Homo-oligomer: A and B are copies of this chain.
């Protein structure tokens, strides 16, 4: 039996909240332990329309289902009145390959599992007493990342910078109910210098954050870079920070901030780093003291997709949601 879940049904099953944190943590733990099969991302570029489809997939040992996810980004869409992101997930039976579910989430589950990864990064790497967040960008992830941060830290003040003032105003308006004082800043530097936790959420192709702006104790989560050409942090930051943690080292070497530091010969391509899952398994591997500058490099992993697709399907079955299509 194959169940189709549409985006309204999916939103009833899964929301950005604390319950998802241990579920995504488990995915990262399995990844770090090597208890997963996660092939390289398939990426199809449609240059003519400034579009791309990425396919991610991962099997987590012993689980009875696995997800394959198609996520598309078409960057002319806003001009056409359409969201730039889109996508769906396919859930398959691990023993037989039989299709269990088609999740027409339009990218919602990707948005949520990405925000939860940001919460996990801050939970394990930022100073616990951090109250000041900086957000670079004002898109969907900018909003979700601030919401996610407030699941794990008592954020009182947020500083935001984005190219588009209108989007900033919308951001501030939409996040009113978070009870955070949100300040619009006129420069990236202004945000960085006032933040204890900084989250970069842009598709920038050249570094926005300079190394010399960073003050002691800052934690940075860079989640914008998920392609070779994208780059939010000065590569020197990766070299000079006290702790660099990738979500998946094999991916950040190719797609993440690390990739640019390797390309600039600041870091050897053979350099070893603990992954986020290692820190979750043993938090003593994380931040050593209050003064450390820590960086988490998130490229988005198939194991997160498998974890959130499974969770959505399980809740949908309990709530008897979805339509039988086979």
Contacts and interface: CB of A to CB of B under 8 A. Distances in A.
Count this chain's copies in the assembly: 2
Given A94-B49, A96-B74, A39 B37 contact: no
Nearest to A41: B42
Contact of A97 (B43, B53, B66, B323): B53
Given A6-B326, A42-B39, A104-B325, A96 B80 contact: yes
A57 B58 contact: no
A51 interface: yes
Given A2-B104, A55-B42, A104-B326, A86 B77 contact: no
> Looking at chain A's contact residues, is the secondary structure mostly helix, strand, loop, or mixed?
strand
Q: Which size bracket describes the interface of A in this complex?
A: 35 or more
A97 B73 contact: yes
A68 B44 contact: yes
Contacts of A237: none
Interface of A: 2, 4, 6, 37, 39-49, 51, 53, 55, 57-59, 61, 66, 68, 70, 72-74, 76-77, 80, 82, 86, 88, 90, 92, 94-99, 102, 104, 323, 325-326
A41 B2 CA distance: 25
B86 A58 contact: no
Given A55-B55, A55-B57, A59-B44, A104 B96 contact: no
Given A39-B42, A66-B44, A104-B2, A88 B96 contact: no
Nearest to A75: B97
Nearest to A302: B44
A74 B97 CA distance: 6
B98 A86 contact: yes
